[in-house]
Structure 1
Amino acid sequence: MDTNTFCPVIDYLRLSAHYYADNKAFVGIDEITYHKFYSRVQTLAGCFKTYGVEKGERVAIWLPKCGEYPLAIYAAMEIGAVYVPMDGSQPLDRACKILGKSEPMVLVTDCARFEALNFEYPSSIQLIILIDADLSFEVKPGFSARVIPLLRLPYMGIPLPQPVTCDKHDLAAILFTSGSTGVPKGVKISHGNLHHFIYWAINTFGLSCKDTFANHAGYHFDLSTFDLFAAAAVGAAVWVIRDDEQRNVNALIQGIKKYHVSVWYSVPSVLILLNNAQFDRHDVMCSMRYVLFAGEVFPIKHLRDLENYLPDECDLFNLYGPTETNVCLYYRVEKSVLQGNKPVFIGQPLPGLTIDVIDERGQSISKEGCIGELLVKGPCVTPGYWRHYDSVNSEHHAKGYHATGDLVSYERGLLTYLGRKDRMIKLNGNRVELGEIEVAISSMQEIKEVAVIAELTESSQYIVAYYSLAEYENKVNSITVKQYCAQKIPRYMIPKFIRRLPELPKNANGKIDYIALKDLSKKHQEKSTMSGIAGVDTVEKVI
């Protein structure tokens, strides 16, 4: 891409399959060239098309991290369909909510998840592709959707589809995030949104076909769009880091060295894991050109440690933006800033974007040190939410801007992140609505009231839930609450600490007093044993 002329991201793959045919599109156990990978994409897309999938239809993908995941993403895009990526580790209950809300025509999944559905799926689904079923697989008679093993496609004589052209307003994806009502909220991502980000990235970082990207983020997470589409735009390789490798320090170290990773993008917590590991840093990290981080605040002392063992020519970048804007601000970390004691800046807007900081009266502020909410306007902003009206932002999105809910201030003409104005947090890069956790726990019959808070320490952030019981003598405790949560919400949303109180504190208006709960939580932190408090369960760490 030499100019800023709009280009849908599927065209990146099509062009690389032509100009970089023999380059590796993926390395590791997924190793395949661009030419062969695009051929597989066309075959799967042909199957979608044969069974009636048209432009704009949804293709849901419910898989663990694997090579078939990007295959399904690109196959959907090849025919102009919208991909709906789902966290492979989320519980069945939440997966069903996403399927019900997105109403996909196709579901790409594996046998284990297919069996877990137990034939309970939206009537919109007409085709199910099983990536790990053998050729002899047959579904029970009377099943309404067509179920086909991926292995069978090359033998079915399916015609290759005509590549579909998308414009910048067409939807590329729907990314479901945590919703405060207990129902995941789908953020619509257009082809124009993706192009704006990828065009900026390949030019800012000077990416080339010689690079190898580490794809650490899950495909349901907006960080993954950089790994997939920026790599394809320049004919570079991608190493897909499996779920069981994501926090396995030895696997990460071996992969970085073996595949000569030059571009890394992840949440800070993963980089902190590498900080604490014992290995020959010069030998392992010598290929690294860029380390990018996003999704949460990077504690400055850990960022200093990271910078100390990266090659001198490797640049550190803090990338900022909610799912509704992907990346909208960036900051190249300066060595002088690392010597301070505050988190680094979130920086300045990408070209073509306009930002505004407003106070509680809705007035713009630009004076250094004054705190306000960040608003973003421009081609990065989502066209809206999928079949959901948001009282804060739905009308904003129609006008091309997004109120982030993040509190910021100016310093040296750059923006500093200061926290949230609502109850949404970022935890290990995942967006978490504390209200969704409350909805999940409150659905337990034995629970009378529940309140969930987030605690921030010097080096981490975690979730704490307080609850009271309808009948205090019953046998519900923190373990049973966590086990119940595991059936309702993703693992990363399960509170680290769950504490029982006879009654939750109330303010003068009779509402749950979250400030009082935060004070109580601080007292728990100060107790070395964190146990033996009257009326509170013994504190147990999440499994």
Structure 2
Amino acid sequence: MSDLVDSALTARFLRGLAAAPANTAVRVGARSVRYPELHELALSWAGALHAAPDGPPRAVGVLTDRSLEGYAGVLAALYAGAAVVPLHSGFPLERTRRMLKTARVDAVVADGPGLATLRELAQAGLRLPVLAPGADDDGTLPRIPVTGRPLDAPARVRDTDTAYVLFTSGSTGRPKGVPLTHGMTRHYFTLADRSYDFTAEDAFSQTFDLNFDCAMFDMFCAWGAGASLHPVPAQAYRDLPGFFAERALTVWFSAPSAITLARRTGALAPDAMPALRWSLFAGEALRAADVVAWQAAAPGSTVANIYGPTELTLTVTGHRWSPETSPDLCVNGLVPIGSLHEGHDHLLLTPDGQLSGHEGELCVTGPQMTPGYLDSEDNEGRFLHHDGRTWYRTGDRVRTLDNGELIYLGRWDSQVQVNGWRVELAEIEYALAACPGVRDAVAVTRAANGTVEIVVFYTGESMPAPRLAKQLAELLPKGMLPRRYTHLTEFPLNSNRKIDRRRLAEEAAGEAGPTRPN
């Protein structure tokens, strides 16, 4: 008996195709593509990939923006039975080269910017076959023509086969490849169907770039329901309510930093986004004050804080905000991350490696856990073997609340020792954000004079550092007070609109000697 099955991801698109064939599958800019058109395009491109000179690829890079080529490329790779390896043309060339090599990419689907990156890589010695319909062929790269017979139907796969390869940052300075299997995605989206009442009438935002794991949620929840998907361009943040109204958006998913952007542009006026049914946030700690502000603008929306590292397939916990009960569960102003998905267990590990029933590093096992990194050397220190099972060590410090849910306290490595004080940077951020005139705050550390110092960046009203220090001194012990306060008009964001904490830490490390407020 064959163990081949329909891919859970392609099955979702086919379900949407059957349920709402007249609906838009994705709208990129002014161009709308309906389900049948995208399906036929993916079958055609998958046929081209199968007919490539070196045979059907095992891994297909998708080096695109959130463009039509990107969405068709993802589907085409899955239809061909290959692993999808989404990449970003804005990344440094060497980083992209490493990811292509580590994932053993056989072929690449590219749009204009992606093709330019591949040509640069070719000059550096890496020439991969590329499918780039409509783009000029200058002879730099071997091209895969879209000719011949399309596939009759998506290829069947095994649950143990890799569906996606996503890359996370590595402490060694090189990206770590995370394989997500078809079985992992099957479990995840089966639970998603039970958790959310998405329908063909919904319109989903997509704020995340395709190389970010949360982009999968938008795509395959929308397509599984026969709903439409709407990539959000950068200019839309200048008038989010206008974009919401134009696209009739009902489902929003982003990093919490988007709330700050919306507030700064005046988008969070009362009832500014009345059509929203779901507001989902992940990728960063979610503040209770931000939820209250967002929900005032979208009063008909259910807000959910969902959490999970890439290694656990998109998200593995969730908390739905209740104005009546959630505020009392918050710690340091942060919203709980909720309970684990069905079928998963967790442990809390103390710094000395002991188990705790209350607080510690979150370790998770279950059907959404990756089988391991592409490079086995990266597995060291990231997995725990206990009680006959393997657990993924998230590096996140959490606490168990009285109702059994989990609350995120910060990265395990964000708890630092400063002059003998054990300091949680999230607590400093919460205290500073509570000061009058301060909108948001980020705390980082830097080495100085043989010790560790705390540096904070804040937005809102610019004010003298001594005033801020005086206010913080009423909330924090002296040993926890920052040594430098830097005002910013806005925080730098990475490609997925999350606060770029690494860049802030680098800026702090490069500043002149410390200044202690008087």
TM-score over 0.5 (shorter chain): yes
In structure 2, the CA distance between the partners of 1:195 and 1:393, relative to structure 1 (3 Å rule), is same
Partner amino acid for 2:47?
G
What displacement does 1:515 show? 5.5
The whole-number CA distance in structure 2 between the counterparts of 1:6 and 1:401 is: 28
In structure 2, the CA distance between the partners of 1:273 and 1:516, relative to structure 1 (3 Å rule), is closer
The whole-number CA distance in structure 1 between the counterparts of 2:481 and 2:98 is: 32
Aligned to 1:147: 143
The whole-number CA distance in structure 1 between the counterparts of 2:411 and 2:350 is: 14
Residue 268 of structure 2 contacts residue 294 of structure 2 at CA under 8 Å; is this kept in 1?
Answer: no
The whole-number CA distance in structure 2 between the counterparts of 1:161 and 1:48 is: 14
The whole-number CA distance in structure 2 between the counterparts of 1:232 and 1:198 is: 11
Aligned to 1:277: 265
Does 2:380 match 1:391? Answer: yes
What displacement does 1:517 show? 8.2
The whole-number CA distance in structure 1 between the counterparts of 2:393 and 2:54 is: 35
The whole-number CA distance in structure 2 between the counterparts of 1:21 and 1:526 is: 53
Deviation per residue, 1:383-417 (Å, 9 max, x gap) = 21112422112575995531111111111221111
In structure 2, the CA distance between the partners of 1:365 and 1:87, relative to structure 1 (3 Å rule), is same
In structure 2, the CA distance between the partners of 1:184 and 1:463, relative to structure 1 (3 Å rule), is farther
The whole-number CA distance in structure 2 between the counterparts of 1:464 and 1:89 is: 28
The whole-number CA distance in structure 2 between the counterparts of 1:524 and 1:160 is: 61
The whole-number CA distance in structure 2 between the counterparts of 1:527 and 1:147 is: 50
Aligned to 2:395: 405
Q: Give the length in aligned residue pairs.
A: 442
What displacement does 1:163 show? 2.2
In structure 2, the CA distance between the partners of 1:462 and 1:94, relative to structure 1 (3 Å rule), is farther
In structure 2, the CA distance between the partners of 1:407 and 1:279, relative to structure 1 (3 Å rule), is closer
Aligned to 2:336: 345
Give the 5 Å matches for 1:348-497: 348-366=339-357, 370-389=358-377, 390-393=379-382, 399-412=389-402, 413-422=404-413, 456=429, 458=433, 459-461=440-442
The whole-number CA distance in structure 2 between the counterparts of 1:212 and 1:174 is: 27
In structure 2, the CA distance between the partners of 1:463 and 1:373, relative to structure 1 (3 Å rule), is closer
Does 2:47 match 1:46? Answer: yes
In structure 2, the CA distance between the partners of 1:132 and 1:180, relative to structure 1 (3 Å rule), is farther
What displacement does 1:102 show? 2.0
Does 2:200 match 1:209? Answer: yes
Aligned to 2:132: 130
Deviation per residue, 1:40-60 (Å, 9 max, x gap) = 111111111110576771111
In structure 2, the CA distance between the partners of 1:202 and 1:281, relative to structure 1 (3 Å rule), is farther
Partner amino acid for 1:373?
E
Among 188, 192, 208, the alignment partner of 2:183 is 192
What displacement does 1:203 show? 1.7
Aligned to 1:84: 85
Q: Secondary structure at the match of 2:167?
A: strand
Q: Secondary structure at the match of 2:170?
A: coil
Residue 304 of structure 1 contacts residue 338 of structure 1 at CA under 8 Å; is this kept in 2?
Answer: no
Deviation per residue, 1:103-142 (Å, 9 max, x gap) = 3111222344434444534978542123562xxx2323xx
The whole-number CA distance in structure 1 between the counterparts of 2:87 and 2:170 is: 15
In structure 2, the CA distance between the partners of 1:46 and 1:76, relative to structure 1 (3 Å rule), is same
Residue 443 of structure 2 contacts residue 455 of structure 2 at CA under 8 Å; is this kept in 1?
Answer: no
Does 2:318 match 1:319? Answer: no
The whole-number CA distance in structure 1 between the counterparts of 2:401 and 2:95 is: 41
- Could you tell me which runs of 5 or more consecutive residues in structure 1 were left unpaired when the two chains were aligned: 426-452, 467-503, 507-512
The whole-number CA distance in structure 1 between the counterparts of 2:97 and 2:481 is: 34
Deviation per residue, 1:331-374 (Å, 9 max, x gap) = 011213337662111111111111222334444332xxx32111
Partner amino acid for 2:484?
H
The whole-number CA distance in structure 2 between the counterparts of 1:84 and 1:538 is: 43
What displacement does 1:516 show? 7.8
Give the 5 Å matches for 1:327-342: 327-336=315-324, 337-338=326-327, 342=333
Give the 5 Å matches for 1:179-328: 179-242=170-233, 244-245=234-235, 248-250=237-239, 252-279=240-267, 281=269, 284-311=272-299, 313-325=300-312, 326-328=314-316
Q: Secondary structure at the match of 1:146?
A: coil
Partner amino acid for 1:332?
R
Aligned to 2:12: 12
Q: Secondary structure at the match of 2:156?
A: coil
The whole-number CA distance in structure 1 between the counterparts of 2:173 and 2:408 is: 27
Residue 59 of structure 2 contacts residue 84 of structure 2 at CA under 8 Å; is this kept in 1?
Answer: yes
Residue 385 of structure 2 contacts residue 391 of structure 2 at CA under 8 Å; is this kept in 1?
Answer: yes
What displacement does 1:20 show? 2.1
TM-score of the two chains, using structure 2 as the length reference: 0.76
In structure 2, the CA distance between the partners of 1:131 and 1:55, relative to structure 1 (3 Å rule), is closer
What displacement does 1:99 show? 1.9
The whole-number CA distance in structure 2 between the counterparts of 1:213 and 1:527 is: 35
The whole-number CA distance in structure 2 between the counterparts of 1:197 and 1:279 is: 32
In structure 2, the CA distance between the partners of 1:124 and 1:424, relative to structure 1 (3 Å rule), is farther
The whole-number CA distance in structure 1 between the counterparts of 2:287 and 2:81 is: 41
Q: Secondary structure at the match of 1:107?
A: strand
Partner amino acid for 1:62?
L
Residue 317 of structure 1 contacts residue 330 of structure 1 at CA under 8 Å; is this kept in 2?
Answer: yes
Aligned to 1:448: none
Residue 58 of structure 1 contacts residue 82 of structure 1 at CA under 8 Å; is this kept in 2?
Answer: yes
Deviation per residue, 1:455-495 (Å, 9 max, x gap) = 956324366777xxxxxxxxxxxxxxxxxxxxxxxxxxxxx
Aligned to 1:59: 60
In structure 2, the CA distance between the partners of 1:271 and 1:88, relative to structure 1 (3 Å rule), is farther
Aligned to 1:23: 23
The whole-number CA distance in structure 2 between the counterparts of 1:522 and 1:66 is: 43
In structure 2, the CA distance between the partners of 1:159 and 1:197, relative to structure 1 (3 Å rule), is closer
Partner amino acid for 2:442?
Q
Q: Secondary structure at the match of 1:344?
A: coil
Residue 329 of structure 1 contacts residue 350 of structure 1 at CA under 8 Å; is this kept in 2?
Answer: yes
Partner amino acid for 1:77?
L
Q: Secondary structure at the match of 2:319?
A: strand
- Could you tell me which runs of 5 or more consecutive residues in structure 2 were left unpaired when the two chains were aligned: 417-424, 434-439, 457-478, 489-507
Among 462, 482, 485, the alignment partner of 1:522 is 482
Residue 104 of structure 1 contacts residue 125 of structure 1 at CA under 8 Å; is this kept in 2?
Answer: no
In structure 2, the CA distance between the partners of 1:94 and 1:245, relative to structure 1 (3 Å rule), is farther
In structure 2, the CA distance between the partners of 1:120 and 1:273, relative to structure 1 (3 Å rule), is closer
Q: Secondary structure at the match of 2:482?
A: helix
Deviation per residue, 1:206-252 (Å, 9 max, x gap) = 1111111101111111111110011111111111123x347x332x3
What displacement does 1:527 show? 9.7
The whole-number CA distance in structure 1 between the counterparts of 2:301 and 2:218 is: 18
Deviation per residue, 1:266-301 (Å, 9 max, x gap) = 100002222333358566412111101011112222
Worse-superposed segment, 160-169 or 288-297: 160-169
What displacement does 1:37 show? 0.8
Q: Secondary structure at the match of 2:158?
A: coil
